[in-house]
Amino acid sequence: MYDSINDRDDQGLTALHYASDGGHLDVIKLLVEKGADVNALTNDHETPLHYACLSERADAAKYLIDHGCDVSIKDEEGNTAQQSGSSQFWSNLGV
């Protein structure tokens, strides 16, 4: 069966990466409910959580964490999503 919910663009981004970057929580919820991979990796080895943290989208990051994303995944530079966001952002997240 064709798995279009996890289709990627030429940079390896899925719809969930874009929704996470934009902080579109309603879209994130729908995608996750429909089976989107919360640990999908871009060509640079970044997850949707990396994108949520880089954009400081707290609701998106919290939702992804609560729905099983792996917070220990490192991008190609060796940074976890936590290292991608500011320390203040993570403090406010309360995780």
pLDDT tens for 4-54 read 999 999 999 999 999 999 999 999 999 999 999 999 999 999 999 999 999
* Tokens 């939702």 belong to residue: 63
Q: How far is CA 67 from CA 61, 71, 78, 82, in A?
A: 10, 11, 23, 16
Cα separation of 83 and 53, whole Å?
9
The domain limits of the chain are 4-93
pTM of the model: 0.90
* Tokens 């934009």 belong to residue: 22
Cα separation of 75 and 27, whole Å?
24
Region 4-93: CATH code: 1.25.40.20
